[in-house]
């Protein structure tokens, strides 16, 4: 068979040769060891947490070596295309500090010398390499219809290796005349690889995450171009990653099973095989077992969830690093104030089997992040969040932004800051008693604080409460109340002889705390009292007194 003639017949419009593209997209001029990685989403508009995670790994891999990170849009499946999807996805990445050096940087906006970065705009390039493969006798048109392929599948029921290969590959040996006749008769065709794979042989690769992998060689005559001339993922990614000079392909490990096809394609096309790093999926514990984090079952699978809940990007980034590298937390303990970008991220330290997503852990990580933020930043970030997701909180903030910041500053900016807030959506409840609009009275008491003790304490406190007190004076007043209500200011003394007292200073402050906030546990009561303001304090104390009088 004259393959050259066949190639020309099949791809008469393709006039460029692979050399042309090799020259157009030369090796990158980067320093030794610099890695080129990419994120290659299909434009579905949904950013799965697992995608963000994998993308973060690719990004860190490039950044750790002063390399290049680019975004390529895999939009060959037009059926799955969603309008505006790219913007949504890129914005999702940008929130977490991932901005591409190159590639698709906005809806229909590209930058860089290795484009186009939309696969749908690269059809001529794929067809050029497809034509070259036909010329080498390594690819051929297949005219099998869907029904014929089904038939083959049903005949293969008892075969251990299924698919279009060996004797099943009916179109493999068609003559030029047969091909010509089929095409002239208007039959549609796909282009298939004529796989030179040997069933007895193995292929090997050294995965950056999974280590050495050995698999049987590919023997399938996989489809390279679909009947509309558009490439499959297998073919497109090989051509693209070669021409875009990717050094490290970081992708989900669902692709491992097709790696033998990809290795074979790289070799047949004469391309250097890049390194692969297959990232295991993020897992979730369920009924004692593990399953993949699921878009359908887990709200936290959607990256938008974190924005909606108001997890700051720092928290999500910190959490992702704990999932990515097990030594991150040790590093963080030693480098408390260091920027996360200084962490020496290492692909080799990734989990082979899949890190476990744990909301409790995220909550913990996030509390640690938020507790060290200055109040001003907590205010600004939570205000931004509130404007979008909680208009009531935004309007409370707007009454007096300084007061709001001061509220958020209670027990913050000190050595042992409180860790009440894990996400901005915790704030409305956390500060609800600071505003009459959201305050819920609750007069439940704990410890020795009974309604009758409460009546006595409140009667005394109302007489002396003075908002111009400083903290020491405020506390002294509390202590002074103790003997008047048969309590002791000294907890030790109380513990030694509890029967002698109605309670201790803690019980006195509980009464006042509950009267002012409706809670038994709050941050610093002195700061709360000052910020509530005289009018509110008095009103709440009176109201509580009324309540306990009735209750006792
Ligand atoms: N478009 C593919 C996906 O979304 C990309 C895989 C890859 O990174 O090569 O799964």
Element spanning 513, H or E: helix 505-517
Using left for φ > 0, alpha for ψ between -120 and 50, and beta otherwise, residue 279 falls in beta
- Rounded to whole angstroms, the Cα distance separating 1 from 336 reads 69
β 503-504/487-488 pair status:
parallel
Q: Is 237 in the pocket of ligand 1 (CB under 6 A)?
A: yes
Q: Which residue do the tokens 């990734």 mark?
A: 350
The 3-state secondary structure of 327-386, one letter per residue? CHHHHHHHCCCCCHHHCCCCHHHCCCCCCECCHHHHHHHHHHHHHCCCHHHHHHHHHHHH
pLDDT confidence of residue 45? 83
> What is this structure's pTM?
0.91
Q: Which residue do the tokens 């200073």 mark?
A: 505
Answer whether residue 78 shows pLDDT above 80: no
Answer whether residue 79 shows pLDDT above 80: no
pLDDT confidence of residue 276? 97
Residue 481's pLDDT band, with cuts at 50, 70 and 90, is very high
pLDDT confidence of residue 161? 87
Answer whether residue 103 shows pLDDT above 90: yes
For the stretch 280-297, pLDDT in tens is 999 999 999 999 999 999
Average pLDDT over residues 408-418: 94
Closest CA to 412 of 383, 379, 384, 373: 373
Number of neighbours of residue 132 by Cβ within 10 angstroms: 20
Q: Is 40 in the pocket of ligand 1 (CB under 6 A)?
A: yes
Percent helix, percent strand, percent coil in the chain, to nearest 5: 50, 10, 40
Ligand 1 center from residue 239 Cα (angstroms): 14
Q: Which of 38, 41, 93 to mutate to test the pocket of ligand 1 (most atoms within 8 A of CB)?
A: 41
Question: Which residue's alpha carbon is at the smallest distance from atom 3 of ligand 1?
Answer: 41
Ligand 1 nearest-atom number relative to CA 38: 8
In 3-state terms, what secondary structure has residue 528?
helix
Q: Any bridge partners for residue 141, and if so which?
A: 191
Q: Is 246 in the pocket of ligand 1 (CB under 6 A)?
A: no
Question: Which residue's alpha carbon is at the smallest distance from atom 4 of ligand 1?
Answer: 41
Q: Is 41 in the pocket of ligand 1 (CB under 6 A)?
A: yes
Question: Which residue's alpha carbon is at the smallest distance from atom 7 of ligand 1?
Answer: 251
Q: Is 43 in the pocket of ligand 1 (CB under 6 A)?
A: no
- Rounded to whole angstroms, the Cα distance separating 197 from 91 reads 43
Mean pLDDT of the chain: 96
Ligand 1 center from residue 66 Cα (angstroms): 23
Answer whether residue 353 shows pLDDT above 90: no
Ligand 1 center from residue 105 Cα (angstroms): 17
Q: 320 and 56 in contact (C-beta within 8 Å)?
A: yes
Q: 239 and 128 in contact (C-beta within 8 Å)?
A: no
Answer whether residue 206 shows pLDDT above 80: yes
pLDDT confidence of residue 187? 97
Residue 333's pLDDT band, with cuts at 50, 70 and 90, is very high
Ligand 1 nearest-atom number relative to CA 250: 8
Ligand 1 center from residue 479 Cα (angstroms): 67
For a pLDDT cut of 90, what percent of the chain falls above it?
93
Q: 221 and 164 in contact (C-beta within 8 Å)?
A: yes
Q: Any bridge partners for residue 504, and if so which?
A: 488
For the stretch 428-473, pLDDT in tens is 999 999 999 999 999 999 999 999 999 999 999 999 999 999 999 9
Residue 552's pLDDT band, with cuts at 50, 70 and 90, is confident
Answer whether residue 159 shows pLDDT above 90: no
Please, which residues have CB within 8 angstroms of residue 275's CB and are 6 or more apart in sequence? Answer: 206, 208, 247, 248, 249
pLDDT confidence of residue 82? 78
Closest CA to 54 of 303, 261, 231: 303
Ligand 1 center from residue 54 Cα (angstroms): 10
């Amino acid at each position: 068979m004259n393959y050259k003639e066949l190639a020309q017949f099949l791809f008469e419009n393709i006039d460029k040769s692979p050399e042309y593209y090799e020259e157009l997209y030369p090796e990158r001029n980067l320093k030794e060891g610099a890695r080129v990685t990419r994120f290659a989403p299909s434009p579905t508009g949904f950013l799965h947490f697992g995608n963000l995670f994998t993308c973060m790994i690719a990004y860190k891999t490039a950044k750790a070596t002063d390399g290049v990170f680019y975004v390529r849009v895999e939009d060959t499946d037009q059926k799955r295309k969603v309008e505006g999807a790219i913007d949504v996805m890129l914005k999702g990445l940008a929130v977490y500090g991932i901005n591409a050096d190159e590639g698709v940087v906005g809806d229909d906006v590209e930058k860089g010398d290795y484009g186009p970065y939309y696969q749908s705009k690269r059809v001529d390039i794929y067809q050029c390499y497809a034509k070259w493969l036909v010329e080498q006798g390594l690819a051929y048109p297949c005219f099998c219809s869907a029904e014929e392929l089904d038939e083959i599948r049903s005949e293969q029921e008892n075969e251990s290796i299924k698919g279009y290969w060996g004797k099943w590959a009916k179109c493999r040996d068609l003559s030029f005349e047969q091909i010509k006749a089929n095409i002239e008769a208007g039959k549609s065709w796909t282009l298939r690889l004529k796989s030179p794979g040997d069933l007895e042989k193995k292929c090997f690769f050294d995965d950056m995450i999974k280590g050495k992998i050995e698999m049987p060689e590919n023997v399938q005559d996989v489809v390279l171009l679909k009947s509309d001339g558009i490439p499959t993922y297998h073919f497109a990614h090989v051509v693209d990653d070669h021409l875009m000079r990717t050094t490290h392909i970081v992708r989900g490990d669902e692709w491992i099973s097709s790696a033998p096809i990809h290795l074979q394609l790289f070799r047949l096309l004469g391309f250097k095989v890049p390194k692969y790093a297959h990232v295991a999926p993020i897992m979730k514990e369920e009924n004692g077992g593990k399953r993949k984090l699921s878009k359908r079952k887990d709200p936290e699978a959607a990256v938008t969830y974190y924005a909606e809940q108001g997890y700051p990007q720092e928290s999500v980034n910190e959490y992702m690093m704990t999932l990515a590298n097990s030594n991150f937390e040790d590093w963080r303990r030693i480098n408390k104030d260091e920027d996360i970008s200084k962490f020496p991220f290492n692909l080799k330290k990734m989990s082979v089997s899949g890190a476990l997503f744990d909301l409790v852990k995220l909550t913990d990580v996030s509390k640690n992040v938020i507790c060290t933020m200055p109040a001003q930043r907590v205010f600004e970030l939570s205000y931004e969040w509130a404007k979008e997701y909680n208009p009531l909180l935004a309007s409370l903030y707007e009454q007096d932004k300084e007061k709001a910041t001061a509220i958020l500053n209670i027990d913050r900016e000190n050595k042992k800051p409180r860790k009440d807030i894990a996400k901005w959506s915790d704030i409305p409840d956390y500060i609800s008693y600071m505003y009459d609009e959201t305050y819920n009275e609750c007069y439940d008491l704990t410890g020795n604080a009974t309604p009758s003790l409460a009546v006595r304490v409140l009667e005394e406190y109302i007489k002396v409460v003075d908002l111009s007190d400083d903290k020491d004076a405020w506390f002294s007043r509390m202590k002074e109340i103790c003997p008047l209500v048969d309590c002791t200011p000294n907890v030790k003394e109380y513990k030694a002889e509890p029967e002698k007292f109605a309670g201790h200073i803690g019980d006195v402050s509980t009464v006042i705390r509950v009267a002012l906030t409706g809670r038994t546990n709050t941050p610093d009561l002195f700061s709360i009292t000052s910020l509530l303001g005289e009018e509110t304090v008095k009103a709440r104390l009176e109201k509580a007194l009324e309540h306990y009088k009735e209750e006792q």
